[in-house]
Structure 1
Amino acid sequence: METIKVAVQKSGRLNEDSLQILKDCGISIDNGQDQLRASARNFPMEVFYLRNGDIPQYLIDGVVDIAILGENVLIEKGTDIPVVEKLGFSKCRVSIAVPKNVDYNVVSDLEGKRIATSYPNTVQRYLQDKGVQAELHIINGSVEIAPNIGLADAVCDIVSSGSTLFKNNLKEVEIILHSEAVLAVSPKAGPEQRKILEQLRFRLRSVLEARNNRYVLMNAPNDRLEAIIALLPGMRSPTVLPLAERDWSSIHTVINKDRFWEVLDQVKREGAEGILVCPIEKMIL
């Protein structure tokens, strides 16, 4: 039986989130401790646990068919590898930072400076686009210490909360790109693997849609139904059911998680009561 080979990060937060989304897709993986390769029990899939920075080359060589990895790594090392889904977790940005006491105004202030980074290709493309020349020092690991020991004038690294920069007395001055976990596919993936990939993408979309929406139930007086329904951005239209109490109805709908507080404030002002907000496990459009 044909299987699809998927690479995930060997350890860390991206590893945990990658395995969780596969689990949410109903895929059970038999992975023991320190195991570098595992099979799924109920889906034609093999999982390879690899270093994040090595994954693009495995995709290029066709050793694995697909991978879940940070978009920033893909941009740095595998620009010709297509992304088929953005997965919405492990969000970060690749940014340039300088010591807090440095007077920085525009990107041309980096002219002739020394920049320590683990993303030389990304930084070089950015500086070339801005017409700036700088000296890059490639460091694998914690680059934030470089200015403190006199190795560099600035650093470029991934930033999530910014706490690491703060602890190292640095300030973020340029955002080069925004990144999140993505599903990428090898150019060498065969037709059978691409069929399995489409099955996986169907499951992923249902999980991602569910994560991005909330199921909302509320009670409303019938004379306010029209005004309340007009405020609801449902999938097609809200479901309205009569309550045992006369002249009242129950409204059921789905609201995007980024909007539901705003919408709930509005419907509450229009007379909605007993509002329940529930997570959605899967959502198929």
Structure 2
Amino acid sequence: MDKIKIAIQKSGRLNEDSLRILKDCGISIDNGKDQLKAQARNFPMEVLYLRNGDIPQYLRDGVVDIAIIGENVLIEKGTDIQFMEKLGFSKCRVSLAIPKSTSYSGINDLDGKRIATSYPNTVNRYLEERGVSAELHIINGSVEIAPNIGLADAICDIVSSGSTLFKNNLKEAEIMLKSEAVLAVSPKIDQEKSEILEKLRFRINSVLQARQSKYVLMNVPNDRLEDILKLLPGMRSPTVLPLAEAGWSSVHTVIKQDTFWEVIDGLKLAGAEGILVCPIEKMVL
């Protein structure tokens, strides 16, 4: 059977998160130190460890079939490359930043200014759409130092926590776009590998659904059961089981992570007790 070739960033957080989701999908990778290529033991997959910025070209040429890559890299270097899934990790934003001492009232303040960046295509598109003209200095590496040494008036870079900007006496002025890891696909992928990709996507979606949900069990007095059930956004309907103690039931349901605390607060007010929250390993819908 043919193997699907997947590109993953050589090092860094995206590398770690990519390998973690493959592991959670039940795929075991034979990793060796400093390897540039590895095999999966239990899935038809070969992993290539590549520089993030080179991955769009490898996809374009069909050297790899799929890749886990930052959406920001596709926007910069691979607008012709399609992605099939947003993966929910390695989230960041691509922002324009200026020295803390510089006042800022809007994007027009950067007209005629010098901007240091390793994302020239993204910056150019953003500025052109807003009728702003700036001089770009393309830097591969740490751009945060550019204003401090007089090379630029502003920078464009990826921002996660903002701590790097803070350390370099910079402040975020414009959030140009928000990004996260995505599963990108080569336009040259063949039918057999597309079938393997669908199996992988099924596993990934099961993992992502589980990561976004919590399994919740609670004890509910029967006279409050109807009110409690109205609060629960379960997958279909909650499971209700009688407890040994008369007049009480055990209610089991799944709650989405993004509404979890609001729902829990409502359940407590409605009379739920002994609320137990469990992580979900996989969720197959």
Partner in structure 1 of residue 208 of structure 2: 208
The amino acid across from 2:123 in the alignment is V
Matches within 5 A, 1:162-181: 162-181=162-181
Letter in 2 for 1:178: K
d(CA) in 2 for partners of 1:193, 1:83? 15
Partner of 1:185: 185
In the alignment, the residues of structure 2 paired with residue 44 and residue 167 of structure 1 have an alpha-carbon distance, to the nearest angstrom, of 45
Deviations 1:75-114 (A, max 9, x none): 1000010010000000000000000111110101100000
Q: CA deviation at 1:31?
A: 1.0
User: Could you state the TM-score of these two structures normalised by the residue count of structure 1?
Assistant: 1.00
CA deviation vs aligned residue, 1:21-80 (integer Å, no higher than 9, x gap)? 000000001010000000100000000000011101100010000000100001100001
Question: What's the RMSD between the two structures over aligned residues?
Answer: 0.4
**Alignment partners' CA distance in 2, 1:68 and 1:35:** 18
Supply the AA of the counterpart residue of 1:116. A
CA distance, structure 2, for counterparts of residue 137 and residue 274 of structure 1: 59
Q: Distance in 2 between matches of 1:64 and 1:75?
A: 19
- 1:24 corresponding residue in structure 2: 24
Code of the residue aligned with 2:273 in structure 1: it is: E
The alpha-carbon deviation at position 205 of structure 1 amounts to 0.2
Q: How far is 1:140 from its partner?
A: 0.4
Aligned residues: percent identity?
Answer: 78
Task: Structure 2: state its 5+ residue gaps.
Answer: none
* Cα distance in 2, alignment partners of residues 230 and 186 from structure 1: 45
Counterpart amino acid of 2:225? L
SS at 1:230 equivalent: helix
Q: Which residue of structure 1 aligns with residue 157 of structure 2?
A: 157
- 2:9 alignment partner AA: Q
Amino acid paired to 1:225: L
Deviation at 1:238, TM superposition (A): 0.4
Counterparts of 2:127 and 2:253 in 1: how far apart (Å)? 48
Q: Secondary structure of 1:258's match?
A: helix
- Cα distance in 1 for partners of 2:113, 2:13 equals 33
Q: How many residues align?
A: 285
Aligned to 2:68: 68
For 2:213 and 2:129, the matched residues in 1 are separated by 38
| Structure 1 segments unaligned to the other structure (5+ residues) | none
Give the aligned residue type for 1:75. Answer: I
Q: Does 1:87 align with 2:93?
A: no
Instruction: State the AA in 1 paired with 2:84.
Output: V
Q: Which residue of 2 aligns with 1:132?
A: 132
State the SS of the aligned residue for 1:93: strand
Residue 21 of structure 2 corresponds to residue 14 of structure 1: no
Deviation readout 1:225-281 (Å, 9 max, x if unpaired): 000000000000100000000010000000001111111111111110000000000
- Residue-by-residue CA offset, 1:188-219 (whole Å, 9 max, x unaligned): 01111100000000000000000000000000
| In structure 1, distance between residues paired with 2:17 and 2:80 | 25
Task: Give deviations 1:150-175, integer Å, cap 9, x for gaps.
Answer: 00000000000000001101010101
TM superposition outliers: structure 1 runs of 4+ over 3 Å: none
